Amino acid sequence: MSSTKISIGWVFVSYFMITGGFMVAASLLGMARVDGEWVGYGVFFLGAALGGFFAGRASPGTTIIEPAIAGVVFMLVFLGLFSMVPGSRIVFSAAGRTVLVTSLSIGFVTALGGLVGAMLGERTSAPRRSSSRLRWMGLAGLISLGMLFTITLLIGVLMIRSGDMSDGTGPILLILGSSAFLGGWVTQAIAPERMCLVSGSGFMVVGVVSIGLAVAQGAPFTGSVILGGLIFGGVGTLVGAIGARVGWAISGERIQRAAATEQAGGAQIPSARVR
């Protein structure tokens, strides 16, 4: 029986790219004031396609199945977190069949989007990955955005379960700090060479894009807004660069070896063989 090599690491990376793509797609369709019953499915498909596209282009080998699997994982994580919210059992018991059908539909659409995006990304990628700092800044922003969304959901659910919603300063700092740190770590782990500051710049990208989206929707473009965005991005970049530096200290030699054999199909992050 033939075997297919599936990189567990790239499922993990694709998940955060898809989650970041989901937020980007939701923001763009929201700005366009698009409505209709299909919009929700459109957000999941477009978000997964965007994340899968960049996962396909960023990976050293062929990465097509992993974004599709990550699309399913995205829905499973969302359902898992929802099931932890007090009162969710009532929803499942009252409309369990509807929830199941909807979840399966969204999971299928998300997996399909990840698969289509990855195929396009692989078909348009160069034989050898680019080391362009600007390109990897964009990937860092997408990964950090996905990390921010996931960690915010997780900590939010934990706060709801604990019933302690009195002080949000600590959780907010924890969310931002951990998202920046882990975003830098993950980006450096898939980069073809050492680029700690670039890998940690995800929050700078997120801050600049957020300001642009806010201005496009009519928000005032003032000096305080620019200063706030720069401070947010600058502090996040420093934290992300620390995460990337830690990641490089742990896996730098492996990244260098993988980069040396990249054209031969060497993988950068752990893989598992599925029969």
Statement to judge: residues 3 and 114 lie in one domain: yes
Could you tell me which of 156, 148, 136 has the C-alpha nearest to residue 22? Answer: 148
Statement to judge: residues 92 and 145 lie in one domain: no
Higher pLDDT, 5 or 236: 236
pLDDT at 182 over 90: yes
Statement to judge: residues 70 and 158 lie in one domain: no
Distance of CA 191 to the CA centre of its chain: 15
Q: What is the pLDDT of residues 64-120, one digit of tens each?
A: 899 999 988 988 888 888 778 776 667 666 666 677 788 888 889 999 999 999 999
φ/ψ (deg, to 5) at 86:
-55, 135
Residue 270 confidence (pLDDT) = 45
Does 130 map to a domain? no
**Percent of residues, the chain, with pLDDT higher than 90:** 32
Does 154 map to a domain? yes
Mean pLDDT of 154-175: 80
Number of domain units in the chain: 2
Residue 92 confidence (pLDDT) = 62
Predicted confidence band at 3 (pLDDT cuts at 50, 70, 90)?
very low
Statement to judge: residues 224 and 109 lie in one domain: no
Does 172 map to a domain? yes
Statement to judge: residues 162 and 103 lie in one domain: no
Q: Please say which residue of 125, 159, 182 terminates a domain.
A: 125
Predicted confidence band at 273 (pLDDT cuts at 50, 70, 90)?
very low
Statement to judge: residues 62 and 165 lie in one domain: no
pTM: 0.84
Q: What is the pLDDT of residues 33-54, one digit of tens each?
A: 777 777 888 889 999 999 999 9
Does 132 map to a domain? no
Pairing status of strand 272-274 against strand 4-6: antiparallel
Residue 275 confidence (pLDDT) = 43
Residue 95 confidence (pLDDT) = 64
Does 146 map to a domain? yes
Domain with 248 in it: 139-267
Statement to judge: residues 177 and 232 lie in one domain: yes
Q: Please say which residue of 125, 160, 181 terminates a domain.
A: 125
Statement to judge: residues 39 and 100 lie in one domain: yes
Alpha carbon distance, N-terminus to C-terminus of the chain: 7
Statement to judge: residues 144 and 188 lie in one domain: yes
Statement to judge: residues 116 and 6 lie in one domain: yes
Statement to judge: residues 82 and 145 lie in one domain: no
The overall average pLDDT reported for the chain is: 82
Statement to judge: residues 119 and 180 lie in one domain: no
Mean pLDDT of 246-257: 83
